[in-house]
Amino acid sequence: MSTYLIETQNLGKRYGDVQAVENLSLRVAEGEIYAFLGLNGAGKTTTIRMLLGMIRPTSGTATVLQTRVRLGSRQPWDRVGYLVEIPHAYPELSVYENLEAARRLHPGTPPAAVSQIIERLGLAAYAGRRAGNLSQGNAQRLGLARALLHNPRLVFLDEPANGLDPAGIVEIRQLLLELTHQQGVTVFMSSHILAEVARLAGRVGIIHQGRLLQELDVDELERRRLRRLLVRARDPEAARRVLASAGFAVESLPDGLLQLNQPACIEHPDDIASLLVRAEIPPTQLLVEEEELEQYFLRLVGDVK
Amino acid sequence: MNTFLDMLWVEMRKTLRSRMPLFTVLGSMLMPFGVAFLVFVSRNPDISHKLGLVSAKATLMADAATTWPAYLTLIGEMIGAGGFFFFCLILSWIFGREFSDGTLKDMLAVPVPRSRILLAKFAVSAAWSVGLSLVVVALSLLMGALIGLPGGSTAVILQGCLRALAVAGLTIVVVMPFALFASIGRGYLLPVGVAVLVLIMANVVQVAGWGEYFPWAIPVFLSQPKLTLTAASYWVVFFTGLAGIAATYLWWKFSDQSR
């Protein structure tokens, strides 16, 4: 039986007339990477802040590490790390001093943890530099270092790849995968970078206008993305007639492309090629195209609108 | 206790690494310099004639402060009014910077009780304010000696210094509610605005004869050797400080932190 490190039941937050989050019920199992997808203002950060006890929900409950979250409570934060929105640090303190200050906010964390996390996040060259003089990418690393400093069991990361260069993104992805696979750390992350989510997360929750639209495994997400077969021939109209007479629904696209959506075509494009060759209209191009995650996401939230 | 010491370390480090302590020391040094200068001008008619408007001000403010007891009384008054502003600024900076720097969220979901985080902030603010007061009093003594004030004996000077420091002590206590204003205003503007309003109100209340019961007028009241404060005034100061600390704690513990 799975242990759930995060559980919410009908969680909601209303600011006056604005319902920021509504009836949010989700569960995150130990050791998984759960990605929270949504447009700006969808309610991602409000949800994370409620889960961290920074905002009082107007309805429902949240449980983190089997402890009911209450505003201003000391529990269960000793094994929870977080990076919420833009990573801020004390600008006049060095990277090392900022992390030392963070260490002292987590009693029991050994002093050596500061140097270790500096090494791990590639901040050694900047350890003595004032945080106010860091680049955006290094400030993000410092924020991640602070979240991971005390060896947490559960980490909340709000847009963890923000400001990182491509090498940094790969590095942080490796680090998060290592944390979950080798140390069993559970990650709850929000992101706009859908391709990144697909590479990292095991499960995805899609939130729009404060409501959880879908919660699904990444494999299922892959299955739900639309796929199509694109066919190009020298005589598109003749090819369309052949395919239509064989019982396929064919849609003509601009530039002479033909689109087929039936699973049989997508699974066996070679059959389509054979059919056209036999009719002496050989295809000049056959392409199975998968819907981009962004398109899937926009299609989903567009349906709701 | 250990977590309190840790929080104290954090607050001390944040303070010492910033330029604010230097700015407040330099700023507060203007008080004894200014008072001594005015006393010097009022005691030297030759210079006074040449300075016009400054001379008029010197006559108005420092004419009576030509001896050590009167000079130290004036310093006490300065601490009661000018010190109030500096102590407000210190407290507002210590609390308000967490909002303006965006660092508040990093001290909310932590296993350290919020009371210890806040106590460390109040403690550093008080220590900083006491340090500033000691600088002002020490510099005042130096300036008084330099301009050659008469009527100074060890007992007189000691009594004047202790009175000025007592004024500083009461002022440090009555500015505690400004931590709440810095928290509610999420920065420095609200507390500074309220401080201006409070100073105006303190003057009005004092003229009306209720100064000894208005928390922010009481310290200046104490600076006057001819006036004596009743126990009620000390209770007002005590409860004002306590209410400021308690209200700040409750606000940090129970208000939504959405930024």
Q: Does A154 reside within a domain?
A: yes
Looking at chain A, how many residues does it have?
305
Q: Do A128 and A199 fall into the same domain? A: yes
Residue B19 in tokens: 């330029």
- The answer to whether residues A123 and A141 touch, using CB atoms and an 8 Å cutoff, is yes
Q: Do A232 and A218 fall into the same domain? A: no
User: Which pLDDT does position A39 carry in this prediction?
Assistant: 83
B176 vs B173: CA distance, rounded Å: 6
pTM equals 0.85
Residue among A92, A146, A149 with most chain B CBs within 10 A, to mutate: A92
Interval A17-43: pLDDT, tens: 999 999 999 999 999 999 988 888 889
H/E run at residue A287: strand A283-290
Q: Do A199 and A288 fall into the same domain? A: no
Choose the final residue of a domain: A175, A204, A223: A223
Range of the domain at A243: 226-295
Q: Do A114 and A250 fall into the same domain? A: no
Interval A61-75: pLDDT, tens: 999 999 999 988 888
A303 pLDDT tier (thresholds 50, 70, 90): low
Q: Does A218 reside within a domain?
A: yes
Choose the final residue of a domain: A168, A197, A223: A223
Closest-CA residue in chain B for A93? B17
DSSP symbol at B107? G
Does residue B105 belong to the interface with chain A, where contact is any CB pair within 8 Å?
A: yes
Q: Is the pLDDT of residue A108 over 70?
A: yes
- The answer to whether residues A84 and A46 touch, using CB atoms and an 8 Å cutoff, is no
Range of the domain at B24: 2-254
B182 pLDDT tier (thresholds 50, 70, 90): very high
Q: Does B26 reside within a domain?
A: yes
Q: Do A64 and A130 fall into the same domain? A: yes
- DSSP 3-state of B215: coil
DSSP symbol at A74? -
Beta-bridge partners for A67: A64
**How remote is the C-alpha of A104 from its chain's centroid?**
31
CATH number, domain containing residue A257:
3.30.70.790
Q: Does A301 reside within a domain?
A: no
Determine the distance in angstroms separating the CA of B58 from the nearest CA of chain A, rounded to an integer.
41
Q: Does B259 reside within a domain?
A: no
Choose the final residue of a domain: A198, A223, A248: A223
Rg over CA atoms, chain A: 24
* Conformational region of residue B22, where left means phi above 0, alpha means psi within -120 to 50, and beta covers everything else: alpha
Total number of domains in chain A: 2
How many Cα atoms within 13 Å fall on the side-chain side of residue A36? 29
Short-list A156, A199, A144, CA closest to A62: A156
Chain B residues with CB under 8 Å of A71 CB are 253-254, 256
Total number of domains in chain B: 1
